[in-house]
Structure 1
Amino acid sequence: MKSLKDAGIHPRTVSRAVQDGIIEKIKPGLYRLPEKKPDAHSSYYVIHWAIPSAIIALTSAAVYHELTTANPSEIFIAVPQNKSKIRLDYPPVRIFYFPETYYKTGMVSVKTPRGRFRIYTPEKTICDLFRYRRKLGESIAIEALRTYASRRSRDLNKLMTFARRCKVEKIISPILKGLIG
């Protein structure tokens, strides 16, 4: 808002522009032009811009990696545990505060012509789904593991390395053995 004031734009003008759909409010003081043709991940770019520490996680990462058929109404993000409370008006997010050791592990940066965002690898995503199975449901974690195990591109050693780091190896291992024989 300060840069808008510095440019000579009155706060009422900004409020009217939001009401008329000319601009969209992302969070207090942060606005953007509405997209004419948003792509499937346009909300991820907005989140990266609004919350630089955010990493697309859990169910949203599973959707991105095509590990689940779930269609969450919110975007699941991870931020460091020591981060203060975050407020975001758009898009709807569900925030998980990860301990530093889990937060930094398995993150990759995705760059596209439309923007950039950070997300966890498929292997880390599966392990996180098992870590949060009581909050999110065990079925989505098992679906993600089943889908991953059926892929030719799977890397079971990498998956089990993340499972050890995330302390879910004893949970994932017997399920995985049942899936792959």
Structure 2
Amino acid sequence: MYRSYLDNLVATGDLSKVGKGMYVLPGAEPSLYRSFVEVAAAIPGSVIALTSALSFHDIGAQLPRAVWVAFPRQSRSYVPAGVETSVESVRMDRKVLSDGVEEHTIEGVTVRIHSAEKTLADCFKYLGRVGLDETLEALKDAWNKDKLDMDMLFEYASRDRVWNKMKPYIEMA
């Protein structure tokens, strides 16, 4: 689609521009996760991770200040300057990044998000960036809401090499 055509649709009010390269129909209700859509469209190959994924899975009480994304360590991926959403990023090995990825359709866009189990394992791996209190709160909340497959949690925590760090907290739960 030509840019001039899109500009004309915006000028006539048939479309509204919501971000770089992103347009919606006027009056369209934004979903709670529109920022995920913006980031997924702007950073191909990225996966919504850490506190943003916790929020999506309704685990924990923290609302992330930014959208957390993970992308391959070896790639040249970066957060483009045109993204209006605040973004925090972590880099992971491709194999670790692809573990536990779920695809969800939000506002017609496929968004890749880590599963609850993978996200909790990653929170322990990136404890310095997420915080112990937030991580433990999320673990307890996921446990109480029965949102965890313990076999998968063990598998992802073992791959992330954080099972020994996580185990005492699970035994207390």
TM-score normalised according to structure 1 size:
0.80
In percent, how many aligned pairs have the same letter? 22
Q: Structure 2 unaligned segments of length 5 or more: list them.
A: none
State the one-letter code of the partner of 1:24. V
Runs of 4+ in 1 over 4 A off after TM superposition: none
User: Which residue of structure 1 lines up, in the alignment, with residue 59 of structure 2?
Assistant: 67
User: 164-173 or 81-90: which moved more?
Assistant: 81-90
Matching of residue 141 in structure 1 with residue 135 in structure 2: yes
User: Which residue of structure 2 lines up, in the alignment, with residue 93 of structure 1?
Assistant: 87
State the one-letter code of the partner of 1:4. R
Match of 1:108 among 102, 111, 116: 102
User: 144-153 or 67-76: which moved more?
Assistant: 144-153
Match of 2:23 among 24, 32, 43: 32
CA distance in 1, matches of 2:103, 2:6: 37
**Cα 1:35–1:61 shift into 2, 3 Å:** farther
Matching of residue 120 in structure 1 with residue 119 in structure 2: no
| Contact 2:51–2:62 under 8 Å retained in 1 | yes
**Cα 1:52–1:152 shift into 2, 3 Å:** same
State the one-letter code of the partner of 1:130. F
State the 1:94 CA deviation: 1.0
CA distance in 1, matches of 2:16, 2:114: 34
Cα deviation 1:19-52 (Å, max 9, x = unaligned): xx952332xxx24247642111122122222222
Matching of residue 4 in structure 1 with residue 7 in structure 2: no
Q: CA RMSD in A?
A: 2.6
Cα deviation 1:103-123 (Å, max 9, x = unaligned): 111111012564321100000
User: Which residue of structure 2 lines up, in the alignment, with residue 47 of structure 1?
Assistant: 39
CA distance in 2, matches of 1:38, 1:8: 20
**Cα 1:8–1:56 shift into 2, 3 Å:** closer
TM-score normalised according to structure 2 size:
0.84
Q: Structure 1 unaligned segments of length 5 or more: list them.
A: none
State the 1:65 CA deviation: 0.8
Match of 1:76 among 50, 68, 74: 68
SS of the counterpart of 1:167? coil
Largest Rg, 1 or 2: 1
| Contact 2:37–2:107 under 8 Å retained in 1 | no
